[in-house]
Amino acid sequence: MSNPALDESAYHALADRTFKQLEDLLDNAGLDFETAGGILTIEMDDGSKIILNRQPPVQEIWLAARSGGFHFVWDGACWFSRRENAGLDELLRRCIVEQGGPALSPP
């Protein structure tokens, strides 16, 4: 799977759209979160956090959760982790459940 080169404005537009979609998903699920400076922090009921942040220099989105850290590149269709062979949406949902949150419906 190749990583199509994005120009800076395309990366930011994709990241903005992705974060907005994630915020809508989290809001609809009733999860507490905040976004500041390109970082989205989800506060779980047990006090743990899941953090997503943009990495413009490498054109990635990173996810940090209790189960580990994951790096996602735009593959032309979605943000994808080659190491995990899974998309951002799938891994985020998995991390939320692993940290005691609700199972979120697929998009």
For the segment 22-65, what is each residue's pLDDT rounded down to a tens digit?
999 999 999 999 999 999 999 999 999 999 999 999 999 999 99
Q: CA neighbours within 13 Å on the CB side: how many for 78?
A: 12
Pair of tokens at residue 24: 């809508």
Q: Is 89 left (phi over 0), alpha (psi -120 to 50) or beta?
A: alpha
Instruction: Write down all domains in the chain, each with its CATH number in brackets.
Output: 8-98 (3.30.920.10)
Is the per-residue pLDDT at 85 higher than 70?
Answer: yes
Q: Give the Cβ contact number of residue 101 at 10 Å.
A: 20
The CA–CA distances, whole Å, from 104 to 15, 22, 25, 50, 93 equal 21, 11, 8, 15, 6
Query: pTM to 2 decimals?
Result: 0.90
